């Protein structure tokens, strides 16, 4: 059985991806390859700036997205470590793979 902390981490990941707009934002960032500002994301996702910001906050909380400050701009990019270990999280939860604590996003 998964320990509680790991189960909570994985549950947070699944909650973060339980919204289609967040999935679209993560996909956009992953495909873009370069950090993007909120404004650049808003140009490509059909929702307003405050909504994009709220979704980015949730993605950043679970560390799927990393934020870096450049002057007055905040740039968002995919945390490759998190994204690469997410598929194994689903396998671990479903009992198809052994628990690999080092795979937890940090």
Query: Does residue 77 contact residue 35 with C-beta atoms inside 8 Å?
Result: yes
What pLDDT, on a 0 to 100 scale, did the predictor assign at position 60? 95
Where the chain has pLDDT below 70, the residues are: 83, 87, 97-106
How far apart CA 106 and CA 81 sit, in angstroms, is: 8
How high is the pLDDT of residue 99? 63
Per-residue pLDDT at 105: 57
Residue-wise pLDDT tens digits, 79-99: 988 767 776 777 777 777 666
Taking alpha carbons only, the member of 12, 8, 21 closest to residue 62 is 12
- The pTM (predicted TM-score) of the whole model is 0.83
pLDDT score recorded for residue 104: 54
Domains and CATH numbers, the chain: 4-103 (1.10.10.10)
């Amino acid at each position: 059985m998964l320990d509680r902390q790991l189960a909570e981490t994985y549950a947070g990941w699944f909650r973060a991806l339980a919204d289609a707009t967040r999935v679209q934002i993560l996909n956009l960032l992953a495909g873009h390859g370069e950090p993007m500002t909120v404004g650049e994301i808003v140009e490509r996702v059909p929702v307003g700036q405050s909504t994009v910001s709220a979704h980015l906050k949730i993605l950043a909380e679970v560390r799927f997205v990393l934020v870096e400050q450049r002057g007055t701009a905040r740039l968002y990019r995919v945390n490759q470590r998190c994204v690469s270990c997410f598929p194994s999280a689903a396998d671990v939860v479903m009992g198809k793979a052994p628990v690999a604590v080092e795979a937890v996003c940090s």
